[in-house]
Amino acid sequence: MSQSEAETVDAGAVAATDRPLLEFWRYFSANRGAVIGLGGIILVVLLAIFADIVSPHSPTISDAQSFLKPPAWEEGGSWVYPLGTDAIGRDMLSRLIHGTRFSLLIGCIVVAISGTIGVALGLCAGFFQGAPGILIMRLMDIVLTIPPLLLAIVLVAILGPGLINAMIAVSITYLPYFVRVTRAAALAELTKDYVTASRVNGAGTLRLMVMTVLPNCMAPIIVQATLSFSTAILDAAALGFLSLGAQPPTPEWGTMLADSRDFVLRAWWVVTLPGLAILGTVLAFNILGDGLRDALDPRLKR
Amino acid sequence: MLRFLLVRVSLIIPTFIGITLLAFILVHSVPGDPIQVLAGEHGISAERHAELLKSYGLDQPLPVQYWRYVEHVLDGDLGRSLITHAPVIEEFGQLFPATIELSIAAILFAVVFGLPAGIVAAVRRNTILDHGVMGAALTGYSMPIFWWGLLLIILFSNTLGWTPVSGRIDVAFDVEPVTGFLLIDSLLSDDPGAFQSALSHLILPAVVLGTIPLAVIARMTRSSMLEVLGEDYIRTARAKGLAPLRVVGIHALRNALIPVITVIGLQIGYLFAGAILTETIFSWPGVGKWLIDSINRRDYPVLQGGVLLIGTVVMVVNLIVDMLYGLINPRIRHKRA
Amino acid sequence: MKRYAWAAGIGLAAAIGFSAPTMAKTFVYCSEGSPENFYPAINTTGTSFDASSRAIYSRLVEFKLGTTEVGPGLANKWDVSADGLTYTFHLRTGVKWQTTKTFKPTREFNADDVIFSFERQWKTDNAYFKVTSDNHSYFNDMDMPKSLKAIEKVDDHTVRFVLNAPDAPFLANMAMDFASIESKEYADAMLKAGTPEKMDQEPVGTGPFVLESYQKDAVIRYKANASFYAGKPKIDNLVFAITPDASVRFAKLKAGECDLIPYPAPADVPAMKADKKLHVYDQAGLNIAYLAFNTTKKPYDNLKVRLAVDMAINKKAIVDAVYLGTGIAATNPIPPSMWSYDKQVKDTPYDPEQSKKLLAEAGLANGFETDLWYMPVQRPYNPNGKRIAELMQADLAKVGIKANLVTYEWGEYRKRLQAGEPSLMQFGWSGDNGDPDNFLYTLLGCAAAKPGGNNVARWCDQDFQAAIEDAQRTPDIKKRTADYEKAQVIFKQQSPWFTIGHSLQIAASKEGVTGFKLSPLAYHDFSTVDKN
């Protein structure tokens, strides 16, 4: 949703990642918040992997006897359904646990798609600064004039509602950010001596792009990727909330929220819990992103 | 300087053409049948379908349709809604002030709370206060605002009864739409209660829409302040024994604000995206909700016109921010132009 | 001032409703959406009809409040010729047209207005045929172009309609929204001024309320028509506060911001009924939600498979969980409030064991995989297609049928259904004029079992068809009832649909609201409403 902050990652100022991994870890682990974020993410990943084992019930099978049962500690609740049930009698806890899979999937796929294509386009724009570069950047400027969520909504309308299409739509809206960050980093690298040296040594353009320049542009790209990961979860949930994302009976958190809007006044848990799950997961990734940025950004090192 | 302005402004033309083409391609790729939309619940016969297709010019090849569309756009005609049959530009004109009013209120909220929070965090670096402010900002930044809106409605409207649930003003007040901005119109009306009502309706949506910009501004202000506070002239000012408040307030803040202002300008795209969700939750009669409705109803002319108009607004605002930035910071205009 | 306003805005917002000057009696109806526009003949939604035809216009004949019975309107009385081909309407005298900012009438309502209102939709050479839109959906849907032979002016207050063939539901059609009467004098004046669209944007009618202003997606304001022929409404001002979200409507009703709300979320209805300060209205709606089998596609061409699906789905659980007390389980294809409803017909029982046996007999002992199409939107007859589909999916899984849920955008969905694409699909219907023909012939007749037709089950049964055609030809209610009862029995035996439910029309008002009645046709009429 809000990518603008990511743009302020100053590509030129981020140092190359040729220093030892150990040093990175030292800076990273010194940041207590980042470690907490990492812990949260590990928890989410574990829940996603072992969802079938840790969930007390199936996320999709409904119990016709228990519609909208409150959580265990509330009056009328029971430990059979620790966090209560939804409008058609499915266990909230199990649905929330299974939801972790979709959120991680969304983050990974979106970053993979928009990262791969965006970095490729960004490198091209950096290397071919004539007509192709201008064309790419103009195109990205045009795409950027359409607010990302609006563009994603229109794209989902074109592709049809569904989780996969929502992921594709969100990926497309993130392209310009990857293109810009990569191009800026590539432009900075291109002026450096080692690039000229490789060129003189007869390295082909493709080799130069992928093997020589790209590895040295990774720092800002990695920061952009972590930020995109969390905003992708938010945007896909927003699409789900507008009934354009994942479809039933998928226990995706945004879709769960959309389903439960009717029950806002009657059953607080069906509305509150999926939102908390989204917030917690996104927060963990953002904390991690901040930690990564601090560790990769030399300006803040003392 | 003039050269810089001319280059910036001339870039508008290809971008605008690009937006018309993008809007056209996107909307024509949306599956569905405009004629079916016209027909309503009962369906339509094949002959009638062909007739209507022809009368709307939809039987022409796409490039011809695009050319006609651009011709109409240049005449200021964006077509008519398939549902209401009213001109798209007229509907946009009726609804856009509501979105602007909401967006301005949201940005004001974000600046009023975000700037001081960022400054305080920077000045009291690495204290509990700093961690608290930044933790809150990061939480705000991670907020699914559609859920946040629902929570605030449950708390302030349903449980406490402090704010109205939805809409822009209580229907008891019949305010003449002069400017379209209800806060202004209600002050112009003789009814003293109207302004209060309009304001109380605006608070929750503005808070919801302003939450993420607030977080962004607070974080940006903090890091920008930290950078400036570390620079030589500030150290010199401190060494000269200037009062800390003067150092922070006058010397540091002025320089730290430049990137912050840019970030505020960059929030415009986000505000439109967020307005779609906020307007949906609060039944706020603005263009965001209008566009969502147009997609759900497959009102193609509205969708196409709406995307074009919003793209154009974002483009113009970006241009203004860009030029302002160039004026404030001369280094930029040499580097970029 | 500013600080005061801020504090008051936060603290006293709830009290504002009371602090407003309310000398005149203003009634606030929190409607569910914006009207398409104010020309009823091109609109298709109840939302638009409430705001246009029901509030502003009148018709030759009117549905009596709260029923589907047809009574006098702008016509005092009417005669039908023995052959059923000629309808002569005797018009009321002294009916005044509304006066608005754009139009001051110089004459009263007469036969010219009636003829203009129909010719506008009928004759392509009428100057108004294409104004605003040339797609007069209901006029075409009710087969008027085929049915009408001529409309003649006998004198200023007598109009004669001549039909091509006897058409039992014709009179009921004349009470429908598309048959609203517009002013020819106004039309001529606007045409002369070169602004014919104003006719539909700033409407002038003979109905109970006069349109004052409309702010898109926000509010519609009317004032009472003091010279309304059936008597001035008891309220002075009528306000439609457009509130699309059902739970928000409920919250506003509780906060006193609305006097009456339509279509509450089913989940909120029990709380509404429990609240002593609110009054809940309900009325059996003329509608049906169903799951249609495409009887021309495998495996649903086999009656045993259709019955097996019928028996596998727990209808009661669906009605309980999704309609939540705002609907009843459906047995027949027409609702129980409609005349000729056959109470003798028994619904197919919920019996998963028997279902498995039937599947085995059909050679599908291991079950099968199928797509199940569900409605993407809420409709008056179906509060939540998605939730119903999820419950069906779970039930079908228990007998070995794996159902994959499929949906499309609503316009696209209808188009694909009418094209005959899906094999198992949710659909539904809201009646137009209260006649069984409008359900049985329209939805299950052989004529509609073709591409683009409404018979999405593609079911064409000769005995059923004979019965409903017979009923169309005779005006005798007893004979028609017998025909329709026979048709309902055949329907249940052949089971082209799994009948899901009929939903109740529901509305809720604040204490002290009187004179409101829900219509089975889903209108909201405020001509007789009062509040204290």
> B68 CA to chain C: closest CA distance, Å?
21
Chain C residues 225-244 with a CB less than 8 Å from chain A: none
Query: Which residues, in sequence order, are bridge partners of residue C291?
Result: C426, C498
Check CB contact of B269 with chain A, cutoff 8 Å. Answer: yes
> B276 CA to chain A: closest CA distance, Å?
8
Contact flag B171-C219 (C-beta cutoff 8 Å): yes
> B222 CA to chain C: closest CA distance, Å?
29
**How many residues are given for chain C?**
532
Tokens of C133: 């839109």
Chain B residues 308-337 with a CB less than 8 Å from chain A: 310-312, 314-315, 318
Task: Enumerate residues 6+ apart whose C-beta is below 8 A from C355.
Answer: C307, C308, C309, C310, C311, C312, C399
Check CB contact of A128 with chain C, cutoff 8 Å. Answer: no
Contact flag B22-A268 (C-beta cutoff 8 Å): no
Question: pLDDT tens for residues A111-135?
Answer: 999 999 999 999 999 988 889 999 9
DSSP-assigned letters across all residues of B91-159: HHHHHHHHHHHHHHHHHHHHHHHHHHHHHHHHHTTTSHHHHHHHHHHHHHHT--HHHHHHHHIIIIIII
Interface test with C, best of A155, A262, A266, A269 (most C CBs within 10 A): A262
pLDDT band at A260 (very low <50, low <70, confident <90, very high): confident
- Rounded CA separation C38/C318 (Å): 38
Which residue would you say has higher pLDDT here, C174 or B9?
C174
What count of other Cβ atoms lies within 10 Å of the Cβ of residue C35? 24
* Subunits in contact with chain A (3 or more CB pairs closer than 8 Å): B, C
Interface test with A, best of C386, C388, C393, C412 (most A CBs within 10 A): C386
Residue B288: helix, strand or coil by DSSP?
helix
Check CB contact of A36 with chain B, cutoff 8 Å. Answer: no
Residue C60: helix, strand or coil by DSSP?
coil
Interface test with B, best of C48, C216, C238, C247 (most B CBs within 10 A): C216
> A198 CA to chain C: closest CA distance, Å?
54
Contacts of C393 in chain A (CB under 8 A): 249
Which element (helix H / strand E) includes C45? Answer: none
Which chain A residue is nearest to residue C396, measuring alpha carbons? Answer: A61
- Rounded CA separation C396/C308 (Å): 10
Return the pLDDT at C374.
93
Contact flag B154-A268 (C-beta cutoff 8 Å): yes
Which chain C residue is nearest to residue A263, measuring alpha carbons? Answer: C267
> C402 CA to chain A: closest CA distance, Å?
13
DSSP state letter for A85: B
Return the pLDDT at C10.
40
Check CB contact of C22 with chain B, cutoff 8 Å. Answer: yes
Contacts of A138 in chain B (CB under 8 A): 14-15, 18
Check CB contact of A161 with chain C, cutoff 8 Å. Answer: yes
Chain C residues 390-409 with a CB less than 8 Å from chain B: 409
Residue in A4, A143, A283 nearest the CB of B266: A4
Return the pLDDT at C134.
80
Question: pLDDT tens for residues A227-237?
Answer: 899 999 999 99
Return the pLDDT at C364.
92
Check CB contact of B91 with chain C, cutoff 8 Å. Answer: yes
Return the pLDDT at B235.
73
Question: pLDDT tens for residues A55-95?
Answer: 998 888 777 777 788 898 888 888 889 898 888 788 999 99
Task: Enumerate residues 6+ apart whose C-beta is below 8 A from A17.
Answer: A24, A215, A216, A218, A219, A296
What is the value of ipTM here, to two decimals? 0.87
Q: Tokens 């939709």 map to which residue? A: C121
Task: Enumerate residues 6+ apart whose C-beta is below 8 A from A31.
Answer: A290, A291, A294, A295
Interface B-C: count of C-beta contacts within 8 A:
153
- Average model confidence (pLDDT) for chain B? 84
Query: Which residues, in sequence order, are bridge partners of residue C300?
Result: none
Contacts of A261 in chain C (CB under 8 A): 245, 247
Query: Which residues, in sequence order, are bridge partners of residue C72?
Result: C61
- Rounded CA separation C222/B37 (Å): 29
Check CB contact of C391 with chain A, cutoff 8 Å. Answer: yes
Contact flag C255-B283 (C-beta cutoff 8 Å): no
Return the pLDDT at A235.
93
Check CB contact of B193 with chain C, cutoff 8 Å. Answer: yes
Contact flag A249-C393 (C-beta cutoff 8 Å): yes
B202 neighbors B101 (Cβ within 8 angstroms): yes
Check CB contact of B18 with chain A, cutoff 8 Å. Answer: yes
Q: Work out the angle at residue C420's Cα, subtended by the Cα atoms of residues C417 and C423, and round it to the nearest 5 degrees.
A: 85
DSSP state letter for C288: E
DSSP-assigned letters across all residues of B160-227: S--S-SSSSS-TT-----SSS-HHHHHHHSS-HHHHHHHHHHHHHHHHHHHHHHHHHHHHHHHHHHHH
Return the pLDDT at C44.
78
Residue A142: helix, strand or coil by DSSP?
helix
- Rounded CA separation C189/C316 (Å): 58
Residue in B31, B135, B270 nearest the CB of A1: B270
State the virtual CA torsion across A136, A141, A145, A151 in degrees, nearest 10: 30
Contact flag C140-B164 (C-beta cutoff 8 Å): no
Check CB contact of C13 with chain B, cutoff 8 Å. Answer: yes
- Rounded CA separation A117/A123 (Å): 10
Residue in A87, A160, A265 nearest the CB of C321: A87
> A131 CA to chain B: closest CA distance, Å?
14
Check CB contact of A142 with chain B, cutoff 8 Å. Answer: yes
B180 neighbors B168 (Cβ within 8 angstroms): no
Average pLDDT score over residue span B269-290: 89
DSSP-assigned letters across all residues of C130-195: TSS-S--HHHHHTTHHHHEEEEEEEETTEEEEEESS--TTHHHHTTSGGG----HHHHHHHHHHT-
- The number of helix segments (H) and strand segments (E) in chain A equals 13, 0
Give me the tens of pLDDT residue by residue for chain C, a chain 532 residues long. 333 444 444 444 444 444 444 468 999 999 988 898 899 998 878 889 999 999 999 999 999 888 888 899 999 999 988 888 899 999 999 999 999 998 999 999 999 999 999 999 999 899 999 888 887 878 887 788 888 999 999 999 999 999 998 887 888 889 999 999 999 999 999 999 999 999 999 999 999 999 999 988 889 999 999 999 999 999 999 999 998 888 888 888 988 889 999 988 888 888 899 999 999 998 888 899 999 999 999 899 999 999 999 999 999 999 988 888 789 999 999 998 888 999 999 999 999 999 999 999 999 999 999 999 998 877 888 888 988 998 999 899 999 999 998 888 777 788 788 888 999 999 998 888 888 988 998 899 988 888 877 899 999 999 999 999 888 877 778 888 999 999 999 999 999 999 999 998 899 999 999 999 998 888 899 999 999 8
Tokens of C78: 């009417």
Identity at C312, one-letter amino acid code: A
The fraction of chain B above a pLDDT of 90, given in percent, is 36
pLDDT band at B43 (very low <50, low <70, confident <90, very high): low
Contact flag A262-C390 (C-beta cutoff 8 Å): no
Residue in C13, C36, C409 nearest the CB of B84: C36
pLDDT band at B305 (very low <50, low <70, confident <90, very high): very high
Q: Is the confidence at residue B193, as pLDDT, over 90?
A: no
CA atoms within 13 A on the CB side of A132: 11
- Average model confidence (pLDDT) for chain A? 84
Contact flag A266-C267 (C-beta cutoff 8 Å): yes
Return the pLDDT at C77.
92
Return the pLDDT at A7.
39
Check CB contact of A242 with chain C, cutoff 8 Å. Answer: no
The closest of C260, C295, C302 to C278, measured between CA atoms, is C260
Check CB contact of A62 with chain C, cutoff 8 Å. Answer: yes
Check CB contact of C266 with chain A, cutoff 8 Å. Answer: yes
Contacts of A7 in chain B (CB under 8 A): 266
Check CB contact of C221 with chain B, cutoff 8 Å. Answer: yes
Return the pLDDT at B6.
83
Q: Is the confidence at residue B325, as pLDDT, over 60?
A: yes
Check CB contact of B19 with chain A, cutoff 8 Å. Answer: yes
Three-state SS letters, C213-237: EEECCCEEEEEECCCCCCCCCCCCE
Contact flag A248-C265 (C-beta cutoff 8 Å): no
